[in-house]
Amino acid sequence: MNKIESHCLMCTQPLKATISWKMLLTKQFSPTICERCAARFQRSHASTALYQYNEEMKDYLHQFKFLQDVALAKVFRQELYARFKKENAIILPIPMHPLKQRERTFSHTEELLKAAYIPYSQLLEKTTTETQSSKNREQRIDVAPLFRLKTGSRVEHKDYLLFDDIKTTGTTLQHAAVVLMQAGAKNVQHFTLIEG
């Protein structure tokens, strides 16, 4: 098979990968970061998140979300694909407010799913441009509804799985779940890339 050469998306060191039939037939993605960078991310013990928040993850999120390095959506695609490939629930990424999305140029939660070839739906829209990360715990808990159903969206009596990049207090996920449950969802769970 062919050898392809690329560079680590985190440290730019050369990466060498061999494309094999197994890779092509089992949805095995080519590595996007080197083993040294991958080892810096700390796996989560929770069943609702892949990783724990640490300095390396803080740097990753900063570069991905705020420096708009959309290529970094591919870093965790193998793990996300493995988690979601047999998911029966309808996957809903937590949306950004349209103004924030225009400012950032992409939706980070949607890009993470797209990079892993995970199908998703978008039934919700964000009602405020404020971010939860700018608030303390009390302010996050005591906040007006963050989401509403998109015009024309219909929630069926089915299982839904909310996906977000990071969970700190869980307020964002809780607000989204309430909207879905009130609209008729049978069950709403959540999964995040990172737990804070």
The answer to pTM > 0.85 is: yes
Range of the domain at 34: 1-39
Q: Looking at the structure, do residues 161 and 142 belong to the same domain, yes or no?
A: yes
pLDDT at 28: 85
**Eight-class DSSP state of 96:** P
CB atoms within 10 A of CB 19: 13
pLDDT at 95: 96
Q: Give which of 84, 27, 21, 26 is closest to 50, Cα–Cα.
A: 84
- Beta strand 49-52 with 14-18 is unpaired
3-class SS shares of the chain: helix, strand, coil, % to 5 = 35, 20, 45
pLDDT digits (tens, 9 = 90+) for 108-163: 999 999 999 999 999 999 998 876 556 566 665 567 789 999 999 999 999 999 99
Structure tokens given for 123: 């039934």
Number of domains in the chain: 2
Q: Looking at the structure, do residues 29 and 101 belong to the same domain, yes or no?
A: no
Q: Looking at the structure, do residues 48 and 82 belong to the same domain, yes or no?
A: yes
Q: Looking at the structure, do residues 49 and 140 belong to the same domain, yes or no?
A: yes
Q: Give which of 195, 36, 193, 14 is closest to 115, Cα–Cα.
A: 193
pLDDT at 102: 87
Q: Looking at the structure, do residues 130 and 163 belong to the same domain, yes or no?
A: yes
